[in-house]
Amino acid sequence: MKELTEYIARSLVDQPDKVIVSENKHGRHVNLELQVGKEDMGRIIGRGGRVANAIRTLLRVAAENDNQQVTLDVVEP
């Protein structure tokens, strides 16, 4: 999950070196925190949160294949 999130985020931002993804696992549940540069927050969140929600949907589908549950939080640097 972490690698997929990094790949998607780095594809969307202008400063891919500032992308940081932390992963916390609790049994079947995986919590991901995505951190990007301040200038790229709008690109990751998108208008009305559409981009962030699309990333979450992709992660949920990938997690179901591994019999896991995943949540994604976009946090400020």
Residue 8 is predicted with a pLDDT of 96
* pLDDT bucket at 77, cuts 50 / 70 / 90: confident
pLDDT in tens, 4-22: 999 999 999 999 999 999 9
Q: What amino acid is encoded at 54 in this protein?
A: A
Q: Which tokens go with 37?
A: 């540069």
Widest CA span of the chain, in angstroms? 35
Class of domain 2-75: alpha beta
pLDDT above 90: residue 76: no
Whose structure tokens read 């925190």?
A: 33
- What's the whole-number average pLDDT of the chain? 95
- DSSP-assigned letter for residue 48: G
